[in-house]
Amino acid sequence: MSENPDDTVEVKFERENLKNMMDKEKESNQETIDKDFIPHFFPTYRISSKFYPIPIIIVVVCAGILAYLTYVVAGVQVEGGYVSEEEHGVAAGLINGLIFVIMSAISSFVIIFLVKKGGIGILKYIFGFSFGILIFFLTLFFGQIILFLIFINLPETELVIISFYISYYTLLIGTVVFTVFMIYKYLTTVSFITKNFIVLYIGLLTGAMLGVVMPLWTTLAILVGISLWDIYAVKAKRGPIKNMIDLASRANGDEELSEAELKEKLESGEIVYDTSKLEIGIGDLAFYSMLSSSALIFTGNIIIMILTAVAIIIGTGITIQGLKRNKILPGLPISIFLGIGTMLLSWYIFSII
């Protein structure tokens, strides 16, 4: 045993330096490979990994504002779900969540069936039709909320009434034109900026709407259920999202290594995936904003909402780290579980302070 404690410190320091040098040498010898081809019309937000929090912050803030204006300021408090939580409590929330996940699963497998029959290109029209419905109804709904808030405190004079009806029909016609334009751009654009805007827009409106209409237990059941489904859909051999990516890759001829060879090289650290650019799914953005909007509405505390959003961003960062050795990972589980845990814990702490 050394009589000088500085000797021990120096040995540890040298070992750490040696280990760091070996790690850096190993990393420098690793081959970086690109991710599989993802068609441009897939509803994903493409961004550099260094800036991944930006789209999450945008959807969280915008959806939170819309949800607050709708639920608190305008007083639109409609209970969604198939079974009423007011009558049946937690059981209703579990049933609603289960129905939501089952419907999502059925829709996913139907889409995979159609793709196998009609080719990967059919997805463009499935997405276009679905997004057209969402854009029209959600834009009209939140547009009406904003219109209501503008006119609610004005005197009911003839001029104000006429102005309201003119504004309403302008909104209606404008929503139709806007929806057609957005879908046309989605189907034809080659610009990532345009596609990113459309994905953000639909994601934040969907999240805000779900945050407004879904009660507490239904919200938690949906988020937990859809996160578990996300794991299966992405990682399981027959998972629909994995199948869609595999079909797109084969259609583009991106299979240079067999799946077994690729797995072996990834596990040995011989190769890693390039994670300099990311694709964040529209569903991830929608459920992130749903959780943060719900946190604001249920607790009435913007600090809890901010903490929940920070937890979501941290969870996404953890997921991104795993992408170096995985072709694709579910974007929801880590972020949603961290977000729910943070929301419930901070809600409890604030309630006893």
The beta strand positions in 90-152, using DSSP E, are: none
Question: Is the distance from CB of 257 to CB of 273 less than 8 angstroms?
Answer: no
Residue 78: per-residue pLDDT: 86
In a domain, 233, yes or no: yes
> 278 is in which domain, residue-wise?
39-249+256-352
Residue 1: per-residue pLDDT: 46
Do the strands 31-33 and 44-48 form a parallel or antiparallel pair, or are they unpaired? unpaired
In a domain, 12, yes or no: no
C-alpha span between 318 and 72 (Å, rounded): 34
In a domain, 28, yes or no: no
C-alpha span between 324 and 152 (Å, rounded): 53
In a domain, 3, yes or no: no
In a domain, 220, yes or no: yes
Please give the model's pTM, rounded to 2 decimal places. Answer: 0.86
Residue 22: per-residue pLDDT: 46
In a domain, 92, yes or no: yes
In a domain, 112, yes or no: yes
How many domains does the structure of the chain reveal? 1
Residue 304: per-residue pLDDT: 96
DSSP helix/strand/coil, 236: coil
In a domain, 20, yes or no: no
Residue given tokens 């909104």 in the structure block: 171
Which residues of the chain, if any, have pLDDT below 70? 1-38, 248-270, 273
